[in-house]
Homo-oligomer: A and B are copies of this chain.
Amino acid sequence: MSNNPQLNKGGELQHLLTTEGLPAPILLNILDTAESFVGVPERDIKKVPLLRGKSIFNLFFEPSTRTRTTFEIAAKRLSADVVNLNIASSSQSKGETLLDTVNNLSAMHADMFIVRHSQSGAAHLIARHVKPEIHVINAGDGRHAHPTQALLDMFTIRRYKRDFHNLCVAIVGDILHSRVARSQIHALTTLGVPEVRVISPKTLLPTKVDRLGVRVFHDMAKGLKDVDVLLMLRLQNERMLGARLPSAEEYFKYYGLTQEKLARAKHDAIVMHPGPMNRGIEIDSAVADGKQSVISQQVTFGIAVRMAAMTILAGN
């Protein structure tokens, strides 16, 4: 096996755990495959039989109706059988270990696990232990990674901006706690975006973030200047207010995206957000619903990207 836990012996994608360390051709293959799925939901019968009879498990150790739904819809449009498991309330409370839960489901001839977990590394741990015919997709683990979100962002950027090689992209907000930001940074740099910026208060930046190949800004006016793409992050206010931020109002004043701040970016800059949005905290409604927003398109493309990832994995 390759040193990269995501690749099989032949160098093909075995698991999708993180965008970090994935070569550009593999990322681009997912984006290209997704192009072929964009039209499926516009057909009268919006299904293809590619994964018929496959058993896909949505293994959510952390609740997320929203993300679970995107994978469920993607799997059903591929004609797979999907089983949803919300684990917090069941096996884990009976004291079963994570790996016993996974081994149990594997023994039922699972084909794929979609894993969300509050602990960084959970999806990797599972991927290391499953049989070679089983594939794992990380649907978000702790602060670590959320690769399908980053890939749908890349797909959306390519759709609107065509080429990655002359872009300036800014990621704005709580970088420190964001698995989305981490996965976006790795994908953007791998795909050749020459300038990736992060804009954030100092308290919401990881130490040594500059080693990731990004330029750091603490001031929105400077950081947004001449930007092509704005990737807004959700403020995880449930865990942070009080500790690292004075107040939501204060945050909005300095880092909330308003039309006024957006005017610093290029006139055709696009605004993205992984959802769910905190309107009036990290983003103003006028921007969220404005003409530069492609937030709704991200969701649409997200289904196609997840269909692509599932199909590629199932074929490897």
A interface, CB within 8 angstroms of B = 41-47, 52-55, 63-66, 69-70, 72-73, 76-77, 81, 83, 85-87, 89-91, 94-97, 100-101, 103-109, 237-238, 275-279, 296-300, 302-303
Contacts and interface: CB of A to CB of B under 8 A. Distances in A.
A277 B97 CA distance: 9
Contact of A275 (B47, B76, B104): B104
A72 B47 CA distance: 19
A277 B96 contact: yes
Contacts of A108: 41, 69-70, 73, 299-300, 302-303
A104 to B, nearest CB: 6
Contacts of A72: 83
Nearest to A277: B100
**Which among A55, A70, A296, A297 has the highest number of chain B CB atoms within 10 Å?**
A55
B90 A64 contact: yes
Given A95-B237, A103-B296, 15 more contacts: A44-B53, A46-B55, A55-B76, A63-B89, A63-B90, A65-B87, A65-B91, A66-B91, A69-B108, A73-B81, A91-B276, A94-B276, A95-B278, A107-B296, A108-B302
Contacts of A91: 65-66, 276
Of A100, A278, A279, chain B has the most CB atoms within 10 Å of the CB of A100
5 contacts: A55-B76, A69-B108, A97-B279, A100-B275, A100-B277
A41 B311 CA distance: 19
A47 B52 contact: yes
Contacts of A275: 96, 100, 104
- Which of A41, A63, A109, A303 is the most central at the interface, judged by chain B CB atoms within 10 Å of its CB? A109
A294 to B, nearest CB: 11
Nearest to A237: B95
B96 A276 contact: yes
- For A91, A108, A238, which residue has the most chain B Cβ atoms within 10 angstroms? A108
A169 B279 CA distance: 49
Nearest to A94: B276
